[in-house]
Structure 1
Amino acid sequence: MRKGLTKIELANILGVTERTVHKYETRGAPNGSAQSLAAVLEFPNGYFSRSGAPDIEARAVNFRAGRSTTRRERDAALAAGASGMEVNSWISGHFVLPKINVPQLGEETPQLAAIMLREAWGLGTKPLPNLIQLCESRGIRVYGLPPLAEPVDAYSLWHGGVPYIFLARRKTPERTRFDVAHELGHLVLHKHRELETTSQQEDEANRFASEFLIPRDSIVEYLPRNPTVDDIFKIKNAFKVSAMALTYAVHQAGRMTDWIYRTTCNKLGQLGYRTGEPDGMDHFEQSKVFPQVFRSEKHGQVDVERIASELALPADDVHALTLGVQLRAVDARIPVRIPQVAASHTPEPREHLRLVR
């Protein structure tokens, strides 16, 4: 699954029958096959003698990209998630992680749930900080996805009482930030609501994310009615959301007429904001947990290679799962661009006028 192979494809590569591969998976493979399996699947030999790998059921997961993904990509994402849980167990066994604080608000509307979560986490109506670090501080484990699984964009689930978000960062930083908020919505709203349709849950997670990132009270506070494109640009950078997402939120809040909404969307499309985010965030939000793990020497030097070796996982997978935090050797011929991080400023609320008689 991790390598995107079917049983027939793996059987053909190994030179055995599909029935033999099925037997390997259900009853175990002979020790002599470990070397050939390791060579074909590019996993360490020791991986095939380990037991107790986490099992993630596909029906328990809503993939962010949904129907646009292939079975191979979804399988690869689930298999990578199982490895991520093993990495999390390793880290949890060596370090103390924040306690889980993710209230269950499935009985509320998505918008109200977002407001209640902001209140529970003491966030008010101001622009949110780094969302990955915010989730980590509340006990949510946020892991990356390897390249083959990236088309799913993101998914989340509860497993063994622990909330997880698995995240690809292949689009704009603003879109990825929305993906994190979307998956947070699933964790808050849908832990005990497995019987709903995927489309219903996806719609609810989207509405949660929009309200969580850009509360209606904030829209009233920071933007006038029928804001101009320049107004949208000013506030979208402060809230670190896409121009289109902010425009949609303003319209949904009843602060923009249908005609001005269509006109604004057309202008943004002409400027390239339908397919990208010109002059947007210049870097993806980073983890706080993984840098601390790799800097610590309390349990000896910790790096990607050590975790990979002790778990018998490919080092490249551990590198992707830990969001590429640890720098690794690159070809000196390949230029490396170091993004300049611009300081962000919280906009001042608009002055409110009141009638004096």
Structure 2
Amino acid sequence: MQNKEIFGQRVKRARIMRGLSMEKLSLAMGKAISRMSISKYERGEVYPTSSTLLLLAEALQLPVDYFFREPNYLVEAIKFRKRSTLGETKSKMIKERVIDVVERYCEIEDICADFRPFKSLPQYLISDKTEALKAAGQLSKRWDLGIDGIVWVSELLEENGIKVVEIEEHPKFDGLSLIVYEHLPVIVLNTSFSSERRRFTAFHELAHLLLKFSPSLSEKECEALCNTFANEMLLPGDVFKSLVGQRRSKITIPELLAIQRQFGISVDALMYKAKEMSIISERSYRQHCIDKNRDKELKEVVEQSHWEEESASRFERLVYRALSDSLISFSKAASLLNSPIEEIKRLL
């Protein structure tokens, strides 16, 4: 691939990543260059001057070397977990942000020669809730998770060869899963949400990566089975029954909060699980939803996070390890982390 072509692709991807039209990018650069010039850059026809390149990098909030980094990784099978109001422009922005982070993640793995191989489950054809629960149980056994709750979901996934990327995004975006270079699984989470929400989303997206659904199922049914899988990974059904009992007319909020603090799963998810397992009736579950939505104070209690903030850290650890071992320079570390050099030096 020619340098001009690489540069042109990078400019276009960066512009999409920031949600800018060519005209808006020109305005962000103080009209130092025209829309026509940006179009020529993206088509790989011309290079900018050094001063214009710096302005371009500043407007797009990216290091200069981003525009000359050759894409080495094939990204495919992107699956959004989204609400219907997430538009095409926003979806494209998120995809480009994800691809940028994944490229940097794969690059630092190459530099450190540190790879975590992913050993997938045998793919079973999932057609109902029972099979989704069975798949969750098999994975829990394979990963030796025990019954005491998962402390760090992101670390667990990364230890087992699944890259976790975290970005701060609009609340309309929950997460997504994708495959890089045909065999490397990646899960993307939105840091705008609570720890409980991100933990649940992580396992929901894992279900998209691991499970093969029957063609007869609708998209809505597949999403529901992914939720069943995620719920079971966080709290096995038999453990839940041992905590609340086989059959209840009502489960109190203090009971649910205690379980939330132990297993990092929200009260609402626990109530839904209780309904799905027939521990409580459909009517009791509906009443919980009605009561919560009528009572503002109750809603705040139910939706409050009670789990320690957790985040994926392997990518950052690899960058600092490479820097400590003189495998990369400070400027390269800053480029990989998208952070100022001064901040990185201050942390060392």
Task: State the TM-score bracket (shorter-chain normalisation).
Answer: 0.7 to 0.9
SS of the counterpart of 1:68? Answer: coil
1:137–1:302 CA distance, 2 compared to 1 (3 A) = same
Question: 1:244, 1:268 within 8 Å by CA — same for their partners in 2?
Answer: no
Is residue 2:178 matched to residue 1:157? yes
SS of the counterpart of 1:112? Answer: helix
Of the candidates 166, 170, 191, which is equivalent to residue 192 of structure 2?
170
Is residue 2:57 matched to residue 1:38? yes
Is residue 2:258 matched to residue 1:234? yes
Q: CA deviation at 1:39?
A: 3.6
Structure 2 distance, partners of 1:46, 1:186, is: 34
Structure-to-structure mapping, 1:198-213, within 5 angstroms: 198-213=219-234
State which drifts further: 263-272 or 131-140: 263-272
Q: CA deviation at 1:142?
A: 0.7
Q: CA deviation at 1:138?
A: 0.3
1:56–1:241 CA distance, 2 compared to 1 (3 A) = same
Q: CA RMSD in A?
A: 3.4
State which drifts further: 46-55 or 205-214: 46-55
Question: 1:2, 1:77 within 8 Å by CA — same for their partners in 2?
Answer: yes
1:36–1:236 CA distance, 2 compared to 1 (3 A) = closer
Number of the residue aligned with 1:256: 280
Question: 2:108, 2:319 within 8 Å by CA — same for their partners in 1?
Answer: no
Number of the residue aligned with 1:90: 107
String of CA shifts for 1:164-205, please: whole Å, max 9, x gaps: 111111122111111111111111125x99998654443332
Question: 1:172, 1:276 within 8 Å by CA — same for their partners in 2?
Answer: no
1:65–1:47 CA distance, 2 compared to 1 (3 A) = same
Structure 1 distance, partners of 2:238, 2:345, is: 41
Number of the residue aligned with 1:2: 17
Number of the residue aligned with 1:116: 138
Question: 1:150, 1:169 within 8 Å by CA — same for their partners in 2?
Answer: no
Number of the residue aligned with 1:350: none
Question: 1:76, 1:149 within 8 Å by CA — same for their partners in 2?
Answer: no
String of CA shifts for 1:267-320, please: whole Å, max 9, x gaps: 4443656567566325321335246436636523879864233x5x7427xx9x
String of CA shifts for 1:21-68, please: whole Å, max 9, x gaps: 4443343542435344224323233322332264646xx323233323
SS of the counterpart of 1:182? Answer: helix
Code of the residue aligned with 1:65 in structure 2: it is: K
Structure 1 distance, partners of 2:288, 2:172, is: 29
Structure-to-structure mapping, 1:264-275, within 5 angstroms: 264-269=288-293, 270=295, 272=297, 274=299
Number of the residue aligned with 1:142: 164
Structure 2 distance, partners of 1:134, 1:327, is: 30
Structure 2 distance, partners of 1:49, 1:292, is: 25
Identity %: 23
SS of the counterpart of 1:153? Answer: strand
Structure 2 distance, partners of 1:197, 1:49, is: 43
Number of the residue aligned with 2:238: 217
1:56–1:73 CA distance, 2 compared to 1 (3 A) = farther
Number of the residue aligned with 1:335: none
Code of the residue aligned with 1:127 in structure 2: it is: G
Corresponding pairs, count: 314
Code of the residue aligned with 2:17 in structure 1: it is: R
String of CA shifts for 1:183-240, please: whole Å, max 9, x gaps: 11111125x9999865444333222212222222222222122133332222222111
**Structure with a larger share of its residues in helix:** 2
Question: 1:114, 1:212 within 8 Å by CA — same for their partners in 2?
Answer: yes
Structure 1's unaligned 5+ residue stretches are: 320-325, 330-357
String of CA shifts for 1:238-279, please: whole Å, max 9, x gaps: 111110110000110011122322333344443656567566
**Structure with a larger share of its residues in strand:** 2
1:282–1:252 CA distance, 2 compared to 1 (3 A) = closer
Code of the residue aligned with 1:37 in structure 2: it is: L
Question: 1:154, 1:167 within 8 Å by CA — same for their partners in 2?
Answer: yes
Question: 1:73, 1:151 within 8 Å by CA — same for their partners in 2?
Answer: no
Number of the residue aligned with 1:351: none
